[in-house]
Amino acid sequence: MQFDDEGRERLVSYQSLQMKQAERNYPVHDKKLLARRYALIKFRVYRLGEQTFAVYTDHESLWTAMKPPHLSHRMALWLSFSAEYNIVVHYKSSKNNTLPDALSLRPDYYPRTLLSRQVIDDND
């Protein structure tokens, strides 16, 4: 996100990633950290060595989950990855962050479910 000449927020890019089956089973706070890690990797070339930049999350309880004793080994690894960046994390409610949040609700990223069966008759 950047600001235009009038001080309004302008998004530079939206990103989305389809999770692997195992990742779909992660707790929500792990999924949010996974998304942050993905974004840092995706935009690494633009961010390394830069002054402090903001990261916005719509998951307020992530703050509690990132502190001991709640910090899992996986979360610690992902947080250590982001330590090479000058990040300031801000909470932004989903109500005020609707467009990026819509990417996480894409129906084509959900596992497909068989809703009906078709019987094939060999006589036809």
Instruction: Report pLDDT digits (tens) over 59-115.
Output: 776 666 666 777 788 888 888 888 888 888 888 777 776 666 666 665 665 554 444
pTM score? 0.66
Q: What residues does each domain of the chain span?
A: 2-109
d(CA 89, CA 33) in angstroms, rounded, equals 12
pLDDT of residue 105: 61
Q: Contacts from 65-70 at CB under 8 Å and sequence distance 24+?
A: 65/27, 65/29, 66/29, 66/33
d(CA 7, CA 26) in angstroms, rounded, equals 37
